[in-house]
């Protein structure tokens, strides 16, 4: 059970409601395979809810833009999102929590050893539309053709079915997929970096300050590190 709700006026509305509304989108930072969401993002949000003294209510939306829209409309309290200047027009970000590279998963027998070597006219790169992995890759492909999916799992299925020669994504997710598909490997270099933070509705200075203090404490006391370890994620670092 959560502790008694805080009396901190900066998050009084959340404390009164008794619920911290977490907006999610399909990503590598939580899974719902067992019917109940779990993973790094869930554990961090649960720790924030416990600090406030409320219960966590996670809700999944189709994509990062949907999550941004929900936050901006005040229909959710917080989300775990990659820091992005476009998103920053509608939401405010805490200090960084996590960071991970954007890179490629390729077949073991691929001649591509670097990001640049995968940029070929006969190469299709599967990735998630409107995800930070998409934003980071824009303008960097001279010859390869991006092919889009709605979720990371669908992009992986495209790669598995040989509808794409390369799978783009965030390193921890690609390492997970490599474990599911023998005969593949994750490139060592990167085409970008995803720095992830907690996001709140823009203009809520008090709530943002409270969340920022939570982030600093969660990093310092090991909460974030334990969440990464518990989830078994590789390729993720403190932001």
Q: Kindly state whether residues 171 and 156 are assigned to the same domain.
A: yes
pLDDT tens digits, one per residue of 54-106:
999 999 998 889 999 999 999 999 999 999 888 989 999 999 999 999 999 99
Q: Kindly state whether residues 206 and 89 are assigned to the same domain.
A: yes
Q: Kindly state whether residues 69 and 187 are assigned to the same domain.
A: no
Instruction: Read off the CATH number of the domain in which 37 is found.
Output: 3.40.190.10
Q: How far apart are CA 11 and CA 210, in angstroms?
A: 7
Domain assignment of residue 157, yes or no: yes
Quote the pTM value.
Answer: 0.85
Q: Kindly state whether residues 186 and 215 are assigned to the same domain.
A: no
Q: Kindly state whether residues 143 and 208 are assigned to the same domain.
A: no
Tell me the residue range of the domain where 44 lies.
9-98+196-238
Averaged pLDDT, 45-49: 96
Nearest alpha carbon to residue 37 among 127, 29, 105: 29
Number of domains in the chain: 2
pLDDT at 209: 98
pLDDT tens digits, one per residue of 201-225:
999 999 999 999 999 999 999 999 9
Reported confidence tier of residue 146, pLDDT bands at 50, 70, 90: very high
């Amino acid at each position: 059970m959560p502790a008694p709700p805080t009396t901190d006026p900066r998050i009084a509305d959340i404390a009164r409601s008794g619920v911290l509304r977490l907006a999610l989108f399909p990503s590598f930072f939580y899974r719902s395979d067992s019917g109940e969401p779990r993973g790094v993002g869930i554990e961090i949000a649960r720790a924030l809810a416990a600090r406030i003294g409320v219960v966590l209510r996670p809700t999944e939306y189709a994509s990062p833009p949907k999550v941004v829209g929900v936050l901006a409309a005040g229909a959710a309290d917080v989300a775990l999102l990659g820091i992005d200047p476009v998103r920053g027009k509608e939401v405010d970000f805490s200090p960084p929590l996590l960071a991970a590279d954007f890179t490629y998963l390729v077949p073991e027998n691929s001649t591509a050893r670097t990001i640049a070597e995968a940029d070929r006219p006969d190469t299709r790169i599967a990735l998630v539309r409107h995800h930070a992995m998409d934003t980071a890759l824009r303008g960097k492909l001279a010859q390869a053709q991006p092919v889009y999916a709605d979720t990371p799992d669908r992009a992986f299925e495209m790669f598995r079915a040989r509808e794409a020669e390369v799978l783009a994504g965030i390193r921890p997710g690609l390492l997970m997929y490599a474990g599911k598909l023998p005969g593949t490997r994750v490139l060592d270099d990167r085409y970008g970096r995803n720095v992830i933070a907690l996001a709140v509705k823009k203009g809520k200075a008090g709530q943002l300050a409270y969340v920022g203090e939570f982030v600093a404490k969660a990093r310092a006391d090991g909460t974030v590190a334990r969440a990464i370890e518990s989830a078994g994620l590789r390729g993720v670092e403190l932001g």
